Structure 1
Amino acid sequence: MKLPCYIGLDEARSLLAEMGVELSDRQIKRAAETDIHGRRKLPFFVDPIDGRLKIEKGTLVDIYREAQINAEKNIKE
Structure 2
Amino acid sequence: MTMSGTRLPQPCYLDLTQAREVLAEMGVELNERQMKRAADKDAHGRRKLPFFVDPIEGRLKIEKGTLVKIYRELQIEAENKYRRN
| Same fold per superposition (TM over 0.5) | yes
Distance of 1:34 and 1:9 partners within structure 2 = 14
Instruction: Compare CA radii of gyration and give the structure with the larger one.
Output: 2
Counterpart position of 1:62: 69
The equivalent residue for 1:28 is 35
The 2-side partners of 1:68 and 1:50 are apart by 33
Distance 1:60 1:9 in 2: 11
Runs of at least 4 residues off by over 6 Å: none
Using the TM superposition, give the Cα deviation of residue 3 of structure 1 relative to its aligned residue in structure 2, in angstroms: 1.0
Q: How does 1:1-77 map to 2 (within 5 A)?
A: 1-75=8-82, 77=85
Higher RCO (CA 8 Å, separation ≥ 6 residues): 1
Question: Where does structure 1 lack aligned partners over 5 or more consecutive residues?
Answer: none
What CA distance in whole angstroms lies between the structure 2 residues aligned with 1:35 and 1:61? 22
Q: Which amino acid aligns with 1:32?
A: A
The code of the aligned residue for 2:79 comes to E
How far does the alpha carbon of each residue in 1:11-53 deviate from its partner, in whole angstroms, 9 at most, with x for none? 0000000000000000000000001111000000000001000
Residue 54 of structure 1 aligns to a residue in which SS? strand
- Aligned pairs, how many? 77
